[in-house]
Structure 1
Amino acid sequence: MRRKIPSITALMAFEAAARYQSFSRAADALSLTEGAISRQIAGLEEFLDLLLFHRVKKRVQLTDIGKAYFAHVREDLNRLERNTLSAMAYQDGQQILELAVIPTFATKWLIPRLSEFSRLHPEIVVNLSERALPFLFGDSVFDAAVHYEHPAWAGNAQELLFEEELVPVCSPQLLGGKTALSIDELAAYPLLQKNTREDVWRHWFDMQGFQGRNPVGGPRHDLFSMIIQAACYGRGIALVPRLYVEDELRSGALLIPLDRPIRGLKKYCVVYPEHEEASPTLKLFIAWLMQAAREQSHGPAMRAGIN
């Protein structure tokens, strides 16, 4: 039976026009004429029997269904491109593992260790893609995710790696020669905030029994990597996972002014679909990852490890 799928050319024209909110800019991006873009989108709207754009003089604006369709088409085209690139890069005997990862965890912990995995298993290529939030495996190309434990992962297999341990860190220059602070002194400095963890400083101060300041004021950032960089440049004190700042602590770029960690707010885990048996490639990776997590948990940088 013939599939109800529009042409790739039409979908690419629609995605570009929706992204730029302009037929002329879409034409420039795809090296086509504006008339060609207009014809492709008109044909797509006829195929769908839907209006995807409102045309107002020389401007175009997505309809409500156009906005929803754009989100799906963009993801589908991205997935198709990734799959195509993987096929083009394939070498005989090569095995590919697609992983979704938390961005800062990947750059600060996972990637530095992957060279060891590649040495042990040179036939396996590990591709990493950023996913900050849980997702449905059925709607993705991923074999597994290295992520936080979360109720949204219900129905999937989860293997605990280790608990998060948060510590306050700052640049030595911020302290003007001091190497340690009391809780009252620390509370006087700017506190760097993570947008999705707005209560973490409040929780830390509550653990210390300190109620003397507003813990949610201070510069805000999306990623821990941004907060760490801001701390390195003296913009304030950051509360970050200790494993993310191991290099900076060793080099002296950052120090811990008050070593009172909080643990257990988040747990790192590897997640994969439970309804299907893990492939031999994924099993090898999970076994290696669990061993690396055990070494992290018992290493000196983790200090107390998992409680």
Structure 2
Amino acid sequence: MNHDDRRRLPPMSMLHCFEAAARLGSFSRAAEALRLTQSAVSRHISNLEQWLGAALFDRNGRRVALNDTGRQFMEEIAPALAAIRRATGRLMDPEPEHVLELAVLPGFGMRWLAPRLPRLTQLHPDLVVNIAARVDVFDFAREPFHAAIHVGGAPDWPGAQHDMLFHEHVVPVISPELQAEHGITTAADLLRVPLLVQSSRRDAWTRWFALFGMSGPDAQSLPGVSHFLMLAQAVKAGGGAALIPSFLIAPELEAGELVIPVDRALGEDRSYWLAYPPARKRTKALALFREWLAGECAPV
């Protein structure tokens, strides 16, 4: 593609009017939002349709509705326009150097990061870390985050640099009452109690029993729970046994609310990573956070 071909980049005024009309579902509402006349919005959109050689709205008298072509075009350009707004905003109104916007896996944020944040505040009292729970990988160019905590077998966040935090250590856990009731002391004993799984890791028990040369139950037949902390609560209530990363259940293990009946960890190849865009690496807030995080992870 020739990036200098002006025919492939319609004027921003056309795109702006189209995006507003598509988002608000009305030419008149778009005109109000943009502080233009309705006829001006209609003219810009008509010019855009002529530019593209395709209708973006279906017109029925004075009523208009986004058609399939328009919906597809909107889905593709809306993130780009949002990215332009954010980039322009950063230049016009630079972000404070002491603020970090961080996306975190819910369990990691609750059980590992949150208890350690007071130490960060004590070390850097002016540093503000705003945390939001996110599970899926996203495009940093389209989101307001400076960095994210990610779990995976490799540094695989597209377009990002990675700091490896620590490897995952997955252990079998059960409530002490259920362990005593069934006399659980060996891997084979665990087959006498319900086995629960985290929904995205249904083969965990199959792989764990394989460490002992045993065949586990059908992975698809096991009850699944979407989040590890919910899974831990189900186990704590006596619902069965589960394989859970040890750092997520440290308080329950320390309090004796959960126990490890067979001390054999699952050899996971997953690690926790701090992912961030290369352009953010030298920003003050992220640099301070990375330095602190590395110190916190060193003993793990």
**TM-score, structure 1 length as denominator?**
0.69
User: 5+ residue gaps in structure 1?
Assistant: 18-22, 28-40, 85-89, 298-307
Aligned to 1:173: 177
Aligned to 1:114: 117
Equivalent residue in structure 2 for 1:289, among 290, 293, 296: 293
Counterparts in 2 of 1:158 and 1:212: CA distance versus 1, 3 Å = closer
CA distance in 2, matches of 1:207, 1:44: 66
Is the Cα contact below 8 Å between 2:14 and 2:48 reproduced in 1? no
Alignment identity in percent?
A: 30
Is residue 193–residue 216 contact of structure 1 (8 Å, CA) maintained in 2?
Answer: no
- Name the SS of the counterpart of 1:147 in structure 2: strand
**Are 1:95 and 2:98 counterparts?**
yes
* Partner of residue 12 from structure 2, selected from 3, 24, 43: 3
Instruction: Tell me: CA distance 1:200–1:157, structure 2 relative to 1, closer, same or farther (3 Å).
Output: same
The reply on whether 1:66 has 2:71 as its aligned counterpart is yes
- Cα distance change on mapping 1:253 and 1:103 into 2, 3 Å: same
Alignment of 1:145-164 (within 5 A): 145-149=148-152, 150=154, 152-153=156-157, 155-164=159-168
User: Number of aligned pairs?
Assistant: 270
Q: Deviations over 1:27-72 (max 9, x none)?
A: 9xxxxxxxxxxxxx999976864777889xxxx9984752774697
The question of 1:197 aligning with 2:201 is answered yes
- Secondary structure of 1:129's counterpart equals strand
Paired residues of 1:201 and 1:215 also in contact (CA < 8 A):
yes
Contact kept? 2:197, 2:222, Cα under 8 Å:
yes
Structure 2: stretches of 5+ with no match in the other structure: 1-9, 30-40, 60-64, 90-94
Hey, what does 2:257 align to over in structure 1? 253
Seen in structure 2, the aligned counterparts of structure 1 residues 213 and 66 have a Cα distance that, compared at 3 Å, is same
**Any idea what the Cα deviations from partners look like across 1:232-277, whole Å, max 9, x if unmatched?**
2222211110000001111222111212112442011212223564
**Judging changes above 3 Å, is the alpha-carbon distance between structure 1 residues 175 and 69 closer, same or farther for their aligned structure 2 residues?**
farther
Compared with structure 1, are the counterparts of its residues 77 and 2 closer, same or farther at alpha carbon in structure 2 (3 Å cutoff)?
Answer: closer
Equivalent position amino acid for 2:136 in 1: L
Q: Offset at 1:14?
A: 5.6
Q: 2:240 aligns with which of 225, 236, 243?
A: 236
1:134 equivalenced with 2:117 (yes/no): no
Asked whether the 8 Å contact 2:170–2:243 carries over to 1, the reply is yes
- The structure whose Rg is larger is 2
Q: TM-score, normalized by length of structure 2?
A: 0.71
